[in-house]
Structure 1
């Protein structure tokens, strides 16, 4: 019989080997009655000045019945899904090899469906060369960078694997990541992460898995057009190896990222229903990680069982929400750009999280009433801010301001104890010159309150680096309850770029849902394919 024991606490100094005896005591069992013990959930509780690791444990018990606080573990929810009988007229084309597209393609290929995955950027190895070259002061490749390429924008992040919704698709997304190399701890840690260094290997292994299952993956393949006829996508065009390829898809999963602005504009020009959506903008704020550790963990700061401390803060600035986002312990601030002449920043950290600084976005909610009119008003709003940030120096050196100077409305002239980690240089300025007035006003109102919630957050030498403008998609590509676009009944918008997810796991889960909606309509047979569609699938399966 399987049971769960909750609320087992250890201090960071206590040996995890104590868990068996503590669980047995709480369950009213002799330790010998526990055949198997495993971690179902682990979190850090640092409230009220005490720090502990809190566990929920699974027990397999033999020849005994718990007499204490033990809860039977129910059978897992069956992972049933429908299989349709419709005939596909061509392969299922997945556009975008971020988490959404990769997991959609893998789900389909695993069930025998003919899949063609298109990614405008490069595989991870070549993408790293382009990206590291840019971060070292080289030229920007508009199609292979921090935002575009195998793994999408999440490949250069903290590698957070949290998800608000742990439904079947969310659990499946985590299982896929674990299958391809992420540690088992992502399945039970309350705030799982693997860092950009480990995530890249997992993503590449997932791509290899798609190909081993018979899917075809094309890198350097950029969507350039779709043709609708009779309420469906009748043909799809993409640039690949210097030529325009056109084929007839059976279905299309549109899994482009939130920075594929050319795709948004193409869809808008075709009449695909879009609407602007709220998101948030602001800047990255950096502190010494040691300060954050000391405030959060006290005497246990720096303990190896705790790692670098995190925070998540919220406030109000006037009538707008202000909050920290994508906090990167021991990380660095990087340029997150794909377009020449525009500048946006993001945070990134490695698995060890051992850098000198902590950084987080500190952002203010904005909504369509703040944008120019039209479905793409949010895109224009972002671009205007990013252009102002770039124009501070006409380079990728980032606008930088000490928190004290920001609060006193004066430009920064020299740095204090905290030094920016941004790799392409900084330009002292006033954030008022690059962010909207109401955003700056909300940040100023919120900062003292946030400093009371996390001591030192508003310290004078903390550093802002701007701008952070791509926190989520500014557009939603509308879809029906069955996952299809009103524009075409075989077009499936999905993931973060379509406005339905935020983060690696939630985007992957949405891709899995899109794949299953397609499977509910169509059989997996590729009989009857002709022309390019047939040749791409035959090459993928080693027959051509």
Structure 2
């Protein structure tokens, strides 16, 4: 007999198999000896009461031999007769390539940046010297922005596709199996590069291609049909299907589409700052303790508040993380966050942003939201004084309109400079943040403190442009064979949802 039930355990017992068996037996009202084995299906932390517990969804094998279904995906050699060009080697592009191989199509992935090994040097230059390589940075290169984004795999995209398939593929390429059961799975920035490289090796071993230092500079279009692309203003690659998975920071792609009179649309996004606390503050608030138990992971939080008609919310929270410089041009400041797999850094950071609507930016230009975003990033650069030094302010000082005399120690390696952030952010953004932060403090003890630092600006929460596509065929309404995909086209947000969208685009090509 096999039964699926939920049990609860204290953190110190959750890793002890005998304790799990005994709790299963007590819940099922049977002898523990009858439980031959068990399989954890889902695992989550419940910290709503003062006593923190784990909730385990378990498949128990009672008087029955344990078995488990192993999932693996086969990628047979592909033929040369039908190719698909995939622009961008982020999660969407790589998973689109894997799905193309499953479908018997040959993917040619072109990526403007470098492979993960070469990319590390450029990231070191960003952090240590404040030097931005505009083609190889935190956003461009093998794995895209996802490679250095903490590897959060939590998503609500279960209606868009098979989340478990995406997780299983990550496990098949080296991710820890815990991502299959954790309620909020993550891989860790330190582990993602090797996994991304393994996915590339799978693509290449099946006959697919991944070309680095290959920047899309033009589309080849005849009579409203895609015929291929031009890379590096020189080389033509021909194919009748192109998946455009360039991510939300490839502004030159939007500008190229606009210049060629290919329909794009302005899209709302969110703008704000990245807020960093000592991790101990978050642990104490969320776990109701002075010192976090060794059996609990660093705590996370999620905040949302309505300020008049605007939503203010936390975004991409990184326990035990680092604030990273994610500029893609030399004259802008963009910040984001990541965490290693153990999340063992002393700080916790989260984007905290305000909704920006189409009505907030005048005009009808489809690039107006992009230009607005760029303007704020350039103001932040000027305020920091160069070398990617970021403008920053203590939390209460920001709310009370006071320049911080000094700044707390923080994780942003290029350095921070005390400024009045309200002089950089649009007034509706800064006023919304000022109203929301004290309210966040009422929801979470210790959150509203001058030990927290606000670092500007968090501006790449999502694409400020949408590339339209047909709901059924996934193709651009004007260009047959062009498949706008994932975050860069405005149809995903995060690693898993982007991967799912890549899979969906590859399947749409097969169906055509």
Q: Structure 1 length as normaliser, TM-score?
A: 0.88
The secondary structure found in structure 1 opposite 2:316 is: strand
Residues 385-400 of structure 1 aligned to structure 2 (within 5 Å): 385-392=376-383, 393-400=385-392
**RMSD of aligned C-alpha atoms?**
2.2
The secondary structure found in structure 2 opposite 1:497 is: helix
Alpha-carbon shift at residue 230 of structure 1 (Å): 2.4
Task: Give the Cα separation in 1 of the matches to 2:82 and 2:88.
Answer: 18
Q: Which residue of 2 is the match for residue 68 of structure 1?
A: none
Alpha-carbon shift at residue 100 of structure 1 (Å): 0.3
**Structure 1 residue corresponding to 2:154, chosen from 162, 181, 199:** 162
Residues 42-121 of structure 1 aligned to structure 2 (within 5 Å): 42-62=43-63, 91-121=83-113
Residue 363 (str. 1) matches residue 353 (str. 2): yes
Q: Which runs of 5+ in 2 are unaligned?
A: 74-78
* C-alpha distance 399-300 of structure 1, shift in aligned 2 (>3 A): closer
Residue 310 (str. 1) matches residue 305 (str. 2): no
Q: Which residue of 1 is the match for residue 24 of structure 2?
A: 23
Task: Give the Cα separation in 1 of the matches to 2:43 and 2:260.
Answer: 49
Task: Decide which moves more: 113-122 or 229-238.
Answer: 229-238
Does the 8 Å CA contact 2:228/2:241 hold for their aligned counterparts?
no
Task: Decide which moves more: 33-42 or 215-224.
Answer: 33-42
**Structure 1 residue corresponding to 2:490, chosen from 499, 513, 516:** 499
Does the 8 Å CA contact 1:89/1:248 hold for their aligned counterparts?
no
Alpha-carbon shift at residue 118 of structure 1 (Å): 0.4
Residues 429-508 of structure 1 aligned to structure 2 (within 5 Å): 429-481=419-471, 482-508=473-499
Does the 8 Å CA contact 1:372/1:378 hold for their aligned counterparts?
no
The secondary structure found in structure 2 opposite 1:13 is: helix
The secondary structure found in structure 1 opposite 2:486 is: coil
The secondary structure found in structure 2 opposite 1:346 is: strand
Residues 259-298 of structure 1 aligned to structure 2 (within 5 Å): 259-298=249-288
Q: Which residue of 1 is the match for residue 196 of structure 2?
A: 203
Task: Give the Cα separation in 2 of the matches to 1:203 and 1:93.
Answer: 19
Q: Which residue of 2 is the match for residue 336 of structure 1?
A: 326
* C-alpha distance 372-90 of structure 1, shift in aligned 2 (>3 A): farther
The secondary structure found in structure 1 opposite 2:454 is: strand
Task: Give the Cα separation in 2 of the matches to 1:410 and 1:138.
Answer: 28
The secondary structure found in structure 2 opposite 1:195 is: coil
Does the 8 Å CA contact 2:275/2:349 hold for their aligned counterparts?
yes
The secondary structure found in structure 1 opposite 2:487 is: coil
Residue 231 (str. 1) matches residue 231 (str. 2): no
What do residues 259-294 of structure 1 show as CA deviations (whole Å, max 9, x unaligned)? 000001101122222212222110011111011111
Alpha-carbon shift at residue 88 of structure 1 (Å): 9.7
**Structure 1 residue corresponding to 2:501, chosen from 502, 505, 510:** 510
Task: Decide which moves more: 135-144 or 506-515.
Answer: 135-144
Q: Structure 2 length as normaliser, TM-score?
A: 0.93
Does the 8 Å CA contact 1:494/1:510 hold for their aligned counterparts?
yes
Alpha-carbon shift at residue 365 of structure 1 (Å): 0.8
Q: Which runs of 5+ in 1 are unaligned?
A: 65-72, 80-86, 522-544
Alpha-carbon shift at residue 36 of structure 1 (Å): 3.5
What do residues 442-465 of structure 1 show as CA deviations (whole Å, max 9, x unaligned)? 011111110011111111221110
Does the 8 Å CA contact 1:11/1:53 hold for their aligned counterparts?
yes
Does the 8 Å CA contact 1:317/1:444 hold for their aligned counterparts?
no
Q: Which residue of 1 is the match for residue 405 of structure 2?
A: 413
The secondary structure found in structure 2 opposite 1:511 is: helix
Does the 8 Å CA contact 1:169/1:512 hold for their aligned counterparts?
no
Count the aligned residue pairs: 498
Does the 8 Å CA contact 2:272/2:351 hold for their aligned counterparts?
yes
Residue 323 (str. 1) matches residue 313 (str. 2): yes
Task: Decide which moves more: 162-171 or 277-286.
Answer: 162-171
Task: Decide which moves more: 24-33 or 47-56.
Answer: 24-33
